[in-house]
Amino acid sequence: MTFIHPLLFGGMALVGVPILLHLLMRQKPKHLLFPAFRFLQQRAKTNQRKIRLKHFLLLLLRMLLIAILCLALIRPRLFSDRVSIGGNQDAAVVLLIDTSASMDYTVAGKSRLEESRQRALELLDELGSNSRVLVIDTGGPPAEWGSVAQAREAIQALVLRPGSVPVTTAMAQAWLKFDELDRSAGANESESLPRFLYVFSDRTTASWDAGRTPDLIAQRDRLPPPKVQAYYIDVGVEKPVDVVIAEAEVKPTLVPSNQDAVIRVYVQAVAQGCDTEILCRLNGETTAQRKPLKLDSGQSDVIEFRRKNLKPGQYQAEVTLVTADALPVNNVRFVTFEVRGARKILTITDDPAYARLWQAAFELQGDFQCDVKTPVDITSIDDLKPYLAVCLFSVRQPARPEGDSLWSKVDRYVQGGGHLVVVPGRNDVATGDYNSDAAQKLLPGRFEKTISLDPSQAAPWQFNFKHLFMAKFKEWAELGTIGFMKRPRTVTKYWQIKAPPENVVVWYLGAEANQGDPALLERVAGRPKGSGRVLLFTTALDEREDEKEWHDYLGTEDRSVFYVVIANEAISYMVGDKEELTLNFPCGQTVVLPVPPSARVPEYQLDGPGISGAETRVSRAEAESELRLRQTQTPGNFTVGSETPPWKSRFSLNPPGSEFQLERVPVEEIEKLLGKDAVVAVGRNKPLRELMTTKMRQPIELLPWLMGLLVFGLAVEALLANRFYKDETPATGTKAPS
């Protein structure tokens, strides 16, 4: 039972009024004049008992009438569990509809989402015009309460949204909306409606997170009355049959231009086998590669498509099954990968001869094309923007007295997301310049002095395998066959750098007086958001005639390999090769794409399936070095880029593989939250009203009954009062004895 006006319970205090009236209007017994005094005494006692009884009954009746009047003003309501769903009853209803990829499963030409849409519209037909309805799409934005007509439009506009949240996550939003409705309810009767939650889903494992059940129960129990009646409309199929392309991938995503690109496709048959073909189209080509696919029930296989001699650039593949089945959404997968040739980097040095070996190290590896220039060749930051990374290599004094300082140009380049490697020169380095304010805005530490070691005390690297820079070194150490890992290279002279410990990537080991000096540093502390990386070597790597080397990186046998390795590993780390390039994303997840400094503009153009109107324009914050895209619930291949300057990046979206798992959640698991018999299995061609085993609760208004009882009670009170008080009036001319 609920009460519309519970504050009027205070009116119950008026039941004391009849008691007061009873005490004030108490009548004395009649006096009878008879000679037989003994008889009169007995008669007086009998008369008093009758009067007290009549007054007591009349007192109780009057108190009851006042209580009925107060109760009627409070307006109590009862709910019945046996009232039919029909009758256009007004109610507050939440329709929670699963739009995940598995809802595309088709039976008799109708998908599970279409079935849910039809059943939800049936429910709306049963609701009164003053009902409040909220439609929650598991893959859509937060919704608000609206009318039946608005809910009908929202339901008809529902589309499949791969990457949706589980219905248990969306259910938390439903409880929250009921709570908001209760908080906003006042004396308005339309806000005191019975509450109902209807969940439409296929009961697959991905749609129900059992771990959230305790929290949802606690959230539900905190809601004020009336209780929310919840029903789970199961539109799923008990024994689904499917052939699924579970995954398509190219690993690594970056393919060297001198290697084949291999697209691996993982396929599985569920409940029955298949005998068909699988196709692979690259960049929308008209003729696809074809491979036969034959699987028994429950069997899986990996199909490989190999592409040779691809030119550098980004490629997008579409892999499809020739034969369609009951779940079309998982018959196709999309994949993006990049064939990468040599990328351009710039080395700035006082004398190009110094950088001859440094440049040769990149030519030998083939991953980077290294241009060499002198400081006077750099007239503005535009000279730096075309390069992924810039190296200051044996530059004695970057802050030249004439013109704009090289430090300021490089600083603007790094602030824009470019990467900087600093390899100091030898004794001629102007340490005051490197320790200036302009330089220290970039560098990870201050130059102190040069340290010279006896060859017997030469310092090797102390490898820190936890740092991302050392990922390859860790693999080589575990392999145990790499010469420079078994016999570490050493230095006999280096620059002592004072820096915070968090800026040190590699330490020197073995120098007695200076043990623990940094060998390699990265600017971590004080690095602005969105800026590029800055890496600093502490030993000279240049080549100079008739000067003693500071290290043995260019020694005999396999020792020269170490020079090539550290040069390429340093640049690879700086440009992000150590981090897996992500061009393939699950639907529903924000897409994050790196943007090179030369292509950073305020707005970009997005093209792909399901993208139209304002969605084709994507903005980038000025301080961001990445592009963030949130229109990610349509599977397919996409392109984003700008015309000026010309830049383009591609990516692919696919439904999460978990949404293709068609195993069913036990009914008992759902009933833990929604209650016994809350799951309603939808049968074909049957109205939802006939399928509901538990009936919709509707309120019974008690006001008419209480008013009728009050009128009847007043009539009885008047009759009894007139009769009782009439009997007590003494006859004229007589006086009853006291």
Instruction: Enter the pTM of the model.
Output: 0.70
Q: Is the pLDDT of residue 120 over 80?
A: yes
Instruction: Say yes or no to pLDDT of 16 above 50.
Output: yes
Residues spanned by the domain of 420: 343-574
Q: For residue 156, what are its two tokens?
A: 């008809």
Q: What is the CATH number of the domain that holds 598?
A: 2.60.40
Q: Which of 63-67, 497-501, 648-652 has the lowest mean pLDDT?
A: 63-67
Stretch among 18-27, 250-259, 399-408 having the lowest mean pLDDT? 18-27
pLDDT at res. 5: 58
pLDDT, position 70: 80
Sheet holding 274-282, edge to edge: 254-256, 332-340, 313-321, 274-282, 289-295
Distance CA 164, CA 100 (A): 5
Mean pLDDT, rounded, for 299-327: 94
Cα 33 to Cα 50, 334, 502, 690: the distances in Å are 20, 116, 118, 80
d(CA 587, CA 636): 10
Same domain? For 428 and 387 the reply is yes
Higher pLDDT, 722 or 207: 207
Same domain, 388 and 500: yes
**What pLDDT shows up at residue 98?**
97
Q: Tell me: pLDDT of 728 over 60.
A: no
Q: Which of 544, 574, 604 is the last residue of a domain?
A: 574
Band (pLDDT 50/70/90 cuts) for residue 190 is very low
Q: Is 101 found in the same domain as 22?
A: no
Here the tokens at position 715 are 């009539």
CB neighbours (10 Å) of residue 238?
A: 8
Residue 7: its pLDDT value, please? 60
**For 221-239, what is the mean pLDDT?**
90
User: Hey, is 136 helix, strand or coil?
Assistant: strand
Are 97 and 58 contained in the same domain? no
The pLDDT of residue 83 is above 80: no
**Which tens digits make up the pLDDT trace of 655-685?**
999 999 999 999 999 999 999 888 988 865 5
Residues 543, 474: one domain? Answer: yes
Domain annotation covers residue 660: no
Residue 137: pLDDT band by 50, 70, 90 thresholds? very high
Least confident of 199-203, 248-252, 488-492: 488-492
Asked whether the beta carbons of 96 and 198 are under 8 A apart, the reply is yes
CB 562 within 8 A of CB 539: no
pLDDT tens column, 441-463: 999 999 999 999 888 888 888 88
Give the model's pLDDT for residue 693.
Answer: 42
Pairing of strands 389-393, 419-423: parallel
Domain shared by 708 and 628, yes or no: no
Whether residue 186 sits in one domain with residue 114: yes
Looking at 340, 367, 395, which one is the last position of a domain?
340
pLDDT at 656: 93
Report, as an integer, the average pLDDT of 212-236.
91
- Give 662: exposed, middle or buried? Use CB within 10 Å, 0-12, 13-18, 19+: buried
Mean pLDDT of 351-365: 92
pLDDT at 116 over 60: yes
CATH number at residue 410: 3.40.50.880
- pLDDT exceeds cutoff 90 at 367: no
- Helix (H) / strand (E) containing 16: helix 16-24
pLDDT category, 687, cuts 50, 70, 90?
A: low
Q: In this structure, are 613 and 644 located in the same domain?
A: yes
- Name which residue leads in pLDDT, 163 or 718: 163
Instruction: Please report the pLDDT score of residue 709 as a whole number.
Output: 84
From CA 73, how far away is CA 7, in angstroms rounded? 10
Residue spans of alpha helices (H) in 366-405: none
In Å, the largest CA–CA distance within the chain is: 159
149 or 190, which is more confident?
149
| Other beta carbons within 10 Å of 731 | 9
pLDDT value of residue 532: 87
Q: Are 333 and 247 in contact, with CB atoms under 8 Å apart?
A: yes
Residue 637: pLDDT band with limits 50, 70, 90: very high
Q: Is residue 428 part of a domain?
A: yes
Is residue 430 situated within a structural domain? yes
**Could you give the number of structural domains in the chain?**
5
671 found inside a domain: no
**Residue 592 and residue 519 share a domain:** no
**What is the predicted pLDDT for the residue at 458?**
85
Q: What is the pLDDT of residue 461?
A: 87
The whole-number pLDDT of residue 61 equals 78
**Quick one: pLDDT at residue 217?**
94
Q: Is 231 among the domain residues?
A: yes
246 and 230 in a single domain? The answer is no
Asked whether residue 663 is domain-assigned, the answer is no
Which of 276, 306, 340 terminates a domain? The answer is 340
CA–CA dist 126, 198 (Å, integer): 14
pLDDT for residue 97:
97
Q: Taking 70 as the threshold, does the pLDDT of residue 81 lie above it?
A: no
Which residue's structure tokens are 């059940």? 213
- If one counts every other C-beta atom within 10 angstroms of the C-beta of residue 696, the result is 24
Residue 737 clears pLDDT 50, i.e. is over it: no
Residues 506 and 598 in one domain: no
Share of the chain above pLDDT 70, in %: 84
Compare 687 and 407 and report the one with higher pLDDT.
407
What does the mean pLDDT of the chain come to? 84
What pLDDT does 694 receive? 41
Query: 623 or 137, which is more confident?
Result: 137
Location of structure tokens 């015309």: 643
Task: Quickly state the pLDDT bin for 654 (edges 50, 70, 90).
Answer: very high
Q: Tokens 């409606």 sit at which residue?
A: 193
Would you say 337 and 253 are in contact if contact means Cβ atoms under 8 Å apart?
yes
Closest CA to 345 of 394, 382, 390: 390
For the cut 70, the answer to whether the pLDDT of residue 1 exceeds it is: no
pLDDT band for position 395 (cuts 50, 70, 90):
very high
More confident residue, 715 or 150: 150
In a domain, 222, yes or no: yes
pLDDT of 648 = 94
Directed axis angle between helix 560-574 and helix 471-479, to 10°? 140
Q: What CATH number corresponds to the domain at position 289?
A: 2.60.40.10
| pLDDT confidence of residue 597 | 79
> How would you list the strands of the sheet with 76-80, edge to edge?
2-3, 76-80, 698-701
Quick one: pLDDT band at residue 50, thresholds 50, 70, 90? Answer: confident
Indicate which CATH number applies to the domain containing 136: 3.40.50.410
Q: Is residue 732, in this structure, part of any structural domain at all?
A: no
CA distance 554 to 356: 13
Residue 1 makes CB contacts below 8 A (sequence gap 6+) with 76, 77, 78, 79
Claim to verify: residue 474 and residue 556 sit in the same structural domain: yes
pLDDT tens profile 535-569? 999 999 998 876 788 888 876 555 468 899 999 99
Say what the pLDDT of residue 27 is.
58
Instruction: Enter the DSSP assignment of 204.
Output: B
Q: Tell whether the model's pLDDT for residue 64 goes beyond 50.
A: yes
Contact 522, 528 (CB under 8 A): no
State phi, psi for 156 to the nearest 5 degrees. -65, -25
